[in-house]
A = this chain, B = another copy of it.
């Protein structure tokens, strides 16, 4: 798949024949809206490059509220780091919020590739570092920016999220209630 090859090259350049070998180990899969890619309590066994659609990661807090931890958009990888790499039960759920198509690989196959192809291993590390970096950035913004600024930033950088996710999911991702987010929008509209 073109998209996946382009993604690999953008993340960590790899010789074309090696990249093709990698991609051939993935298999295409489709999901319906509402399907779970990963359920809390399960050990994540799949790693996906998302071709189309959108998913959300979420946990349930002590008051039984669903708190969105991440949105996964097309042309990015979808997996839960801790459960997948440390082989422990996931605390997070990952669910399709639209119909999805992706290229999937199992843990053992991915690991085999990591061992055989140093370039792919470096690609994996680069991705891990990138994810880590983005999470740090988000964490930082959650304390240095106001809710309104965080909303505007998300709207700027990931407008597609607002087309597919209900307000409540976006609000909990931003760390506020849907009521507050609705008010923030209202105030912005009046400017």
- Residue-wise, chain A 15-50 has the 8 Å CB interface mask toward B (1 for contact) of 000000000000000000000000000000000000
Copies in the complex: 2
User: For the complex, would chain A's binding face be called helix, strand, loop or mixed by DSSP majority?
Assistant: helix
**Closest Cβ neighbor of A133 among chain B residues:** B82
Contacts of A81 in B (CB 8 A): 129, 132-133, 136
A142 touches B82 (CB 8 A): no
Please count how many residues in chain A sit with their CB below 8 Å of the partner chain's CB atoms. Answer: 30
| A–B complex contacts, Cβ < 8 Å, 19 sampled | A59-B144, A62-B144, A67-B140, A67-B144, A69-B139, A81-B132, A81-B136, A82-B132, A85-B125, A85-B126, A85-B129, A86-B129, A86-B133, A115-B118, A128-B128, A128-B129, A128-B132, A135-B135, A138-B139
Known: A132-B135, A142-B143. 18 other contacts (CB 8 A): A59-B144, A67-B140, A67-B143, A81-B129, A81-B132, A81-B136, A82-B133, A82-B136, A85-B125, A86-B133, A115-B118, A125-B125, A125-B128, A128-B128, A128-B129, A132-B132, A143-B172, A143-B175
Question: Which residues of A are at the interface with B, using a C-beta cutoff of 8 A?
Answer: 59, 61-62, 67, 69, 81-82, 85-86, 115, 118, 121, 125-126, 128-133, 135-136, 138-140, 142-144, 172, 175
